[in-house]
Amino acid sequence: MLLRPTGFVDSPFGHDGKVARLAGGLNWFSAVEAIEWDGSRRASTELIPVERLIETIGNMPSDAKAAWERLTFSRQPLQLGDRIVRLDQPQVMGILNVTPDSFSDGGQFADPSGAVEAGVRMASEGAAILDVGGESTRPGAQQVWAQDEIERVRPVVERLAMSGSAVSIDTRKSEVMSAALQAGARVVNDVSALTFDPRSAEVIARAGAPVILMHHLGPPETMQQDPSYDDVLVEVYLWLEERVAAAESAGIDRSRILIDPGFGFGKTVAHNLELMNGLALFHSLGCPVVIGASRKRTIGALSNEAPADERLGGSIAFAFKAVEQGAQIVRVHDVPETVQALRVWRGLRDQALTPRLGQA
């Protein structure tokens, strides 16, 4: 049984026993959608109020009990060198592509000095983590040799780490992971979820680094060639569940695993929208949720094919939708605009969670 939180409320005041806190964050929910699945699709669903779930959880299947526990326990902060990134509130990860062919900003930061300057600016604008990538994984992108990728990312990672920034390395290759971690990166963001390179899990486990496992359907060269699912929400969830288990078996502690449903990676517009609508389900895995919808093609498809650099409004809309469902990290190109939007969101949450006279 899968449990998807729903029925979100502004605050828990006056709702004792009727609402639950999602993953120790700023979101409270009053019901769950209980999903029974058969193979790779939903067999049945039932909307269960939190109050009734709490009363009956002792009689429910063990997988439902485990899902409930994972939904409601607090996520540990990320210890990234001297930096601590709290996950009881949404954080922004700034995208820094040092590639000539990324879908949105290809070539803009290919020069190391310019990339470092951009990264320092993102950090000053409020990015908690800077995600440096040296290989484009846009649809149709070709693979880059590991040494070429290392030469692109290592000087940028090293200088950003020396500046005091928390740096993530966006790569599928163990050699690049090793070089970047030695240069000062603290997080590995693997769009293949450790399936591309069999040595990656060992490198990450040995380093004790957090890792982001992202769902994908096929390699970048072919992933958008008619992607198909029986039930995209259930299939992506079950796939990530398997990848989390594989990472744990390789020696990576679950507290250091983050998951990403892979918005745009082997999905149609309809798949992406369904995943975003059901995003809260992924908290049942017990791992922090990362979402990267910034400037993706789905936004263009919903706005008269707006080009990538004219998708700010849609990017912020998706960021809002994600944090409303408890996403801990949003990965974005437009850092200051997103940070400002989330500060407004945080202000709304703080006001809702401030007790008024007579409330407790």
Kindly state the greatest CA–CA separation across the chain: 64
The yes-or-no answer on residue 331 being catalytic is yes
- Per DSSP, which regions of the chain are E strands? 2-9, 20-21, 28-38, 41-49, 78-80, 83-85, 91-97, 129-133, 167-170, 187-190, 211-214, 257-260, 290-291, 329-332
Residue 190: which of 214, 215, 166 has the closest Cα? 214
Which CA distances in Å does 181 have to 53, 103, 119, 130, 201? 44, 26, 17, 14, 13
Cα within 13 Å of Cα(348), Cβ side: 12
Amino acid at 145: W
Tokens standing for residue 335: 């850092």
Catalytic choice (75, 311, 331, 349): 331
Nearest to 151 by CA among 194, 199, 98, 197: 98
Q: Can you spell out the DSSP letters for 132-168?
A: EESS--STTPPP--HHHHHHHHHHHHHHHHHTT--EE
Strands 2-9 and 28-38: antiparallel
Token pair for 228: 């198909």
Catalytic residue, from 173, 296, 311, 349: name it. 296
**Rounded distance between C-alpha atoms, residue 208 and residue 186, angstroms:** 9
Q: What type of residue sits at position 307?
A: P
Q: The tokens of 25 are what? A: 């964050």
Active site residue 243: no
**Amino acid letter, residue 80:** L
Active-site positions read 296, 331
